[in-house]
Amino acid sequence: MNTVHALALARPGGGWGHMGSSGASASMWMWGSVMMLFWTVLVITAAWLVLRAASGSRSGRSGEPPRSGVDRARDILAERYARGEITTEEYHERQSMLG
């Protein structure tokens, strides 16, 4: 084998280093991008769920069934009575109207 043939065999191909110019390098870039996007979405979703659970527990909403309008009206009526804004007669009258 002469020197010219040995140099021709030692030179890399026209591709991009060890990946060559086949479709494998394009699919690896695409797969890497998809995986990066997947992990980013996963981390953001986990953080959102943790923050949502933390804010729900601070406001007292976790595990509590939703209250009806009548229950909330009774609470407001009791608060007004406790603050002395309404008399006992008014309290009982309005409570009887709530049912």
Distances (CA, A) of 35 to 15, 45, 71, 86, 93: 25, 15, 50, 64, 66
pLDDT single digits (tens) 25-79: 677 888 889 999 999 999 999 999 999 988 865 555 555 666 788 888 899 999 9
Q: What is the DSSP string of 17-79?
A: GGGTTSTHHHHHHHHHHHHHHHHHHHHHHHHHHHHHHHHHHHTT-TTPPPPPHHHHHHHHHHH
pTM: 0.39
Whether 23 contacts 30, CB under 8 Å: no
